[in-house]
Amino acid sequence: MKQRLLYHIRSFGYALSGLKVLLLGERNMLIHLLATLVVIALALWFRLNTERWCLLLFAIAGVWIAEAFNTAIERLCNVVNPEKHPIIKQVKDISAAAVLLAAIAAVLTGILIFFF
């Protein structure tokens, strides 16, 4: 039982370490952090109801999760093949497109929440 608890505590430590790597090592994450803080401030200012908060948080989380996976995929690709390779480029481009799609969806969600 004690070993399982330690395992779970370590898992959270690994996750927090990954978050630290994202925030300190990825320029785009700082942009996402700034956008997140602005959106949260606006949501507090407009006193959004619970449903709108949930939608907003899902949109924010979607962008953060997409960026985290994009970063992980890019770093793995760099280790697997440090040389330029057309398939590796496609993989990186596709994972970057996922972040773009999540960000567009988040912006559209924000527009709907704040203006309609």
Residue 51 CA to residue 102 CA, distance in Å, equals: 20
Question: Which of 112, 113, 15 lies closest to 64, judged by CA?
Answer: 15
Which helix (H) or strand (E) is 84 found in, with range? none
Is 83 considered catalytic here?
no
Considering just the CA atoms, what is the radius of gyration of the chain in Å? 17
Query: What string of H, E and C letters represents the secondary structure of 63-76?
Result: HHHHHHHHHHHHHH
User: Quick check: 39 and 110 in contact, CB under 8 A?
Assistant: yes
Choose the catalytic residue: 26, 67, 74, 83: 67
Q: Which residues are catalytic?
A: 67
